[in-house]
Structure 1
């Protein structure tokens, strides 16, 4: 048995356990075992009945407000178990400070965490607080409402329906996020070459409507991960990375991120993948397993989520991850998801390897996909190109190492290297 985030050992009863009581009451239930040393060895407590009374008195006298807890005794081992339950009247203070667990240590909360505890104890979300400005404009939101829902004009009644006012009839932070101008961070997108030291393109979107951020991110995606392919007389759009998956991942990042701190949503674009890092970790009450399986138990930003839902940019009931996975049905490479305390990471792999080559040369690579070995004449026929144009493209690709050549003269064939 080892100490962990929800388990602490105390060899004897001293005031040091009270910080951990505050941490468990603030951020999730946990156990404190008295009569166990730091290595997990049972040493017992001499007078367990008196020790229980001391523990109870210390908690009642020192933690404000009073947390919920229970005490039990193992008379055989002389170990006392203190179960502390997560409370509803947060924050819980010990000597005027609130605490949280960091792995096996108990540390004081920072000002952002303390604000979140205060909001949670008041049954409020950060987005519901007043934004400090009543001079907001919503031209981009109105444009999207007209395009998607056919709304003729954005009225005050619609803003109220969206929940953009607080109890004092002031614009809240959710309203500011959809306003044309605001003070919030947004999305930082960078397109890399073969390594992060090769930055090919970069765009940062901040201080503008989250809807505009979303649209601009999609536009940058389209520049580098979509192209037109002609089959006979038909022209069709081809996704190197599925657009549906990218849209879902960006929408989820905007809807579920924390907005009470300044980090950007970071979207890193590589030839073979897109990585999306959203600040804030998972919403409270949602486990990693529930997130991966597509279940939402608690929305961090319900007002923002509601607007995205009404504009058909997300599904309200937490199906975003499922929809990302569906976009990769049958694909060899699958998306991956990673969760930490401070961020959520989504990696969207390319369906096939992408190539830093011209559009014409890319078409040759498409013909040779799936392991095909073809002659220059066969390639020319498939592309409806002249023989000279085809040979020029093949020579360029061969010199660059993208394709390999086998045979001589008319028997020469080409395949992907």
Structure 2
């Protein structure tokens, strides 16, 4: 069964919704302390695209949700907003290319999730339009309509904007990378309770737990100069908020 019609340029939505098909699916990997340690790997393929979508949500809940009991009250805690993950997965399914036999990859870390979907942007839309939430070109219109009718997506083209809104009060913000061959959405763990100044929050939002960043990777994204950035980084190190490795030009920073 072909999922892509080269003559008409759209996916076979009926085929994707069948219980048995050739949909390459989603590959989900949960890493430990580093990428050399794989705690769990699950691949959902050759199944209904709706079943794959729901299975991905179930795995997400296992790692990024828990219940907190206070007295008689039981409260669900989300380390990463489920609504943001749903948007990222729906975005990957609806806007991926289907003439490439590649899986959507979901890389799960302690401090973030990375969702990587095969294929770049559809023709007729720029990277700036996509990142600003002005996506108006649907690569897989039939599939998008199914997701819309089932309530998995709200208004077409607002997924990125909705993810940004869900992180509006979080210290760390989602990241979006668009290349010729893939679209990547990075959803960080929600963090909002640190006692930081507004300038420190700006720096904190740029840093990562699992990746060291140099001054050259930090300075372009703050609204003040390098000398103030260096001073703030030193103060944040003294507070025990960040880790510093190396010296001189080789100095790099990460969240503790």
Output the TM-score relative to the length of structure 2: 0.72
Taking the TM superposition and a 5 Å limit, the aligned residue runs for 1:127-166 are: 127=11
Asked if the contact 2:10–2:141 (Cα under 8 Å) also holds between the matched residues in 1, the reply is no
Query: 2:203 maps to which residue?
Result: none
1:296 and 2:135 correspond: yes
| Range 186-195 or range 229-238, more displaced | 229-238
Query: 1:184 maps to which residue?
Result: 23
Query: 2:149 maps to which residue?
Result: 310
1:329 and 2:168 correspond: yes
Give SS of 1:181's match: coil
State which of 246, 262, 270 in structure 1 corresponds to 2:101. 262
Structure number with greater Rg is 1
Aligned-pair distance for 1:370? Answer: 4.4
Paired residues, number? 194
Query: 1:126 maps to which residue?
Result: 10
CA RMSD of aligned residues (A): 2.0
Query: 1:339 maps to which residue?
Result: 178
Asked if the contact 1:306–1:316 (Cα under 8 Å) also holds between the matched residues in 2, the reply is no
Asked if the contact 1:282–1:288 (Cα under 8 Å) also holds between the matched residues in 2, the reply is yes
Asked if the contact 1:272–1:352 (Cα under 8 Å) also holds between the matched residues in 2, the reply is no
Query: 1:196 maps to which residue?
Result: 35
Deviations 1:296-350 (A, max 9, x none): 2311000000000000001242111111111111110000000001100000000
Taking the TM superposition and a 5 Å limit, the aligned residue runs for 1:49-198 are: 119=7, 124-127=8-11, 173-198=12-37
Output the TM-score relative to the length of structure 1: 0.45
Give SS of 1:237's match: strand
Deviations 1:172-202 (A, max 9, x none): x211101101012010000001211100001
Asked if the contact 1:335–1:346 (Cα under 8 Å) also holds between the matched residues in 2, the reply is yes
Give SS of 2:121's match: coil
Q: Which has the higher contact order (CA 8 A, sep 6+)?
A: 2
CA distance in 2, matches of 1:247, 1:180: 21
Asked if the contact 2:136–2:156 (Cα under 8 Å) also holds between the matched residues in 1, the reply is no
Segments of 4+ in structure 1 off by > 6 A?
A: none
Query: 1:207 maps to which residue?
Result: 46
1:221 and 2:64 correspond: no
